[in-house]
Amino acid sequence: MLGDKAASKRSVQNWMCAIKQGDPVVASRNTGRSVDEEKNNERIEKIRVCFEESRHWSLRSISNREEIPLSTVQRIVVHDLKMKKILKKWVPHDLSFSQMEHRVLACRSNLERLSKDKTLLKRTVTIDESWVALYMAPDRNQSRSWLLPGEEPEIQVSQNIHAGKRLLIMAMDYFGICFWQLLPPKTTVTAEVYKQFLDEYIPKWLDGKPFERPILLHDNARPHKATLVTEFLAEKQVPCLFHPPYSYDISPLDFCCFGQLNRRLKGINHQNWDEFEQALETAVNNLNSEGHMNGIQQLPDRWSRVINSKGQYL
């Protein structure tokens, strides 16, 4: 009948003992609830007002400001308001309408090509670059905010800081990471560097494959779209899948690889680059063997989701 308002068995036993010992003032004693219903509602309203001002409060800050016990604040936020504190949603760009439309058209085109060529995904190689460092500190710059049930996280545009790092060129096929290269210090990806990378590694990847040429998926970075590279791909008769600008969420290495790879490498203080490369190779092998590097297999579903969301980020 009383549910969670019922007193515990031990409390009832204590009351019975008190009555038998002649203590009649049992009803006035605390029944196990820290505050009555009216006071609890007041506290809920105070905490609700705090979150209307800002979603970035810590529970301790609310407790200090409103003079409410920390455990009570936690109970109200989690159980009464049913809120969760999660990270902001990082996006690379604030998409315009035309950019969202471009994303939809590109995804439709790729799905049409897939419907006509069932081997398309197994012939696809996706290539991208990422910055790495000997010591990659755990992320501490993403702020959390409290959300009500059904609310979406805030958007925060990512910032690129590359000082003192080296560039890693990574390639993924249908089965996982297939080849990669850590560029020398103070070397960036130019059209010439990218062309040499393709010319060296693509023939090795094709060796033993049941097809003659790959399908390339890369983003719209300048080295990828440079005349030197496009002419090289045309000469080798290597077609490319459509990839719209600012679309990390349909770039397999972005949504499937780099985040997981960074988590395996972060927080470790590598003494030199040889040690880092050994750790990188171990991480890549482990991720491949665990089946986590399946980004290309996810592409059809992601293309469909972009179309259904009318070009919004996933």
- The model's pLDDT over 217-242, given as tens digits with 9 standing for 90+, comes to 999 999 999 999 999 999 999 999 99
- Does one domain contain both 9 and 99? no
What value does the mean pLDDT take over residues 159-179?
81
Assigned domain for 148 exists: no
Question: Last residue of a domain, which of 69, 89, 109?
Answer: 89
Assigned domain for 280 exists: yes
- Distance, in Å, from the CA atom of 223 to the CA atom of 229, rounded to the nearest integer, reads 7
pLDDT at site 233: 96
Question: Last residue of a domain, which of 63, 89, 115?
Answer: 89
**How do residues 6-33 score in pLDDT, each as one tens digit?**
667 777 777 677 776 665 555 445 544 5
Q: Give yes or no for residue 169 having a pLDDT over 70.
A: yes
pLDDT at site 12: 74
- Distance, in Å, from the CA atom of 122 to the CA atom of 214, rounded to the nearest integer, reads 9
Predicted TM-score (pTM) of the model is 0.67
Q: Which residue has the higher pLDDT, 36 or 215?
A: 215
- Does one domain contain both 68 and 136? no
pLDDT at site 85: 82
Q: For residue 32, give its domain range.
A: 3-89
- Does one domain contain both 63 and 106? no
pLDDT at site 166: 92
Q: Report the CATH number at residue 195.
A: 3.30.420.10
Assigned domain for 223 exists: yes
- Does one domain contain both 139 and 236? yes
pLDDT at site 144: 67
CB burial class (10 A; 0-12, 13-18, 19+) of residue 257? buried
- Distance, in Å, from the CA atom of 32 to the CA atom of 166, rounded to the nearest integer, reads 60
- Does one domain contain both 118 and 16? no
pLDDT at site 163: 43
**How do residues 101-148 score in pLDDT, each as one tens digit?**
999 999 999 999 999 999 999 999 999 999 998 887 765 545 567 778
Number of domains in the chain: 2
Question: Last residue of a domain, which of 48, 68, 89?
Answer: 89
pLDDT at site 270: 84
- Does one domain contain both 17 and 57? yes
**For the chain, what percent of residues have pLDDT higher than 90?**
58
Assigned domain for 227 exists: yes
Q: What stretch of H or E contains 309?
A: none
pLDDT tier, 156 (very low <50, low <70, confident <90, very high otherwise): low
- Distance, in Å, from the CA atom of 314 to the CA atom of 295, rounded to the nearest integer, reads 14
Mean pLDDT of the chain: 86
- Distance, in Å, from the CA atom of 126 to the CA atom of 300, rounded to the nearest integer, reads 14
